[in-house]
Amino acid sequence: MQDAHSDSDAKSGGVKVNDFRQAFLEFALARDVLRFGRFVTKAGRQTPYFFNAGLFNDGDSLRQLGGFYARAYLASGVTCDQLFGPAYKGITLVAATAVALAGMGHNLPYSFNRKEAKDHGEGGLIVGAPLRGRVLIVDDVITEGGAKREAIQMIQAHGATPAAILIAFDRMERGRGEHSAVYELKEQFGVPVIAIATIEDLLGFLGQRPDLEAQRDAVTAYRERYGAAA
């Protein structure tokens, strides 16, 4: 089983774990993945910022992104035996994370699912390592949580245990009720969610950037209006 790591001693790629969240947000801003302006969320809300992980769309960006996923996992203290990426976005992300972890001395098997079962060749829904032991789910974000519920149930159906869900960014925003989809997944399945960065990290990051002070005020107001209950 993968050894747990603590915030006090884990280091990855020369970045201490208490620094990697800010480094990730700087990276996202430089790649235009993190944008400020006027946007509309899937829920129809006017938001002053937008995070689109799909714009990490070249080789160097993917290499660095896998490193940030690996650092977030190692900093979390969660243990797992393998990685799993839900189709489709999770396929690339789980592979990048597996490569990054191997480069840090933690070689873990990984797998992903097909949307439709294959009836020839190796067949089945799962590609890669068989689902066994404690499985870490790797994906981009959690919106309403449906895809993650499917992944959890798929892992359980194979006799394995979902260890945690690892995502890039947590908006910490209410769904239809008072709580976020992240909270609801934790409550329903007992599965923790690890984020490379959250809206609280973003507010801290903006507070250190005088050039982004206006954006911080707008994001703070949005957080106060739509933030999920603790």
CATH topology for 11-226?
Answer: Rossmann fold (3.40.50)
Q: What is the mean pLDDT of residues 79-103?
A: 96
Sequence-distant (≥ 6) Cβ neighbours of residue 98 within 8 angstroms: 66, 83, 108, 109, 110
Give the per-residue pLDDT at 39: 95
C-alpha 141/C-alpha 138 separation (Å) is: 9
Where does the chain have alpha helices with state H? 20-30, 59-76, 89-103, 146-157, 181-189, 199-207, 213-226
Kindly indicate the confidence band of residue 19, based on its pLDDT and cuts at 50, 70 and 90: confident
Give the per-residue pLDDT at 8: 35
pLDDT at 22 over 60: yes
Give the residue numbers marked as catalytic.
118, 120
pLDDT at 48 over 90: yes
Between 226 and 69, where is the model more confident? 69
Beta bridge partners, 170, equal: 198
pTM, two decimal places: 0.87
Kindly indicate the confidence band of residue 14, based on its pLDDT and cuts at 50, 70 and 90: very low
Average predicted confidence (pLDDT) for the chain: 87
pLDDT in tens, 121-140: 455 789 999 999 999 999 99
pLDDT at 40 over 70: yes
pLDDT at 150 over 70: yes
Q: What is the mean pLDDT of residues 171-178?
A: 82
pLDDT at 106 over 50: yes
Give the per-residue pLDDT at 93: 97
Element holding 113 (H helix, E strand)? strand 110-118
pLDDT in tens, 52-77: 999 999 999 999 999 999 999 999 99
Which phi-psi region, left, alpha or beta, contains residue 81 (left: φ > 0; alpha: ψ -120 to 50)?
A: alpha
Q: What is the mean pLDDT of residues 86-91?
A: 92
Burial 41-55 (b: 16+ CB within 10 A, else e): eeeeeebbbebbbee
Sequence-distant (≥ 6) Cβ neighbours of residue 153 within 8 angstroms: none
Give the per-residue pLDDT at 120: 46
The domain spans of the chain are: 11-226
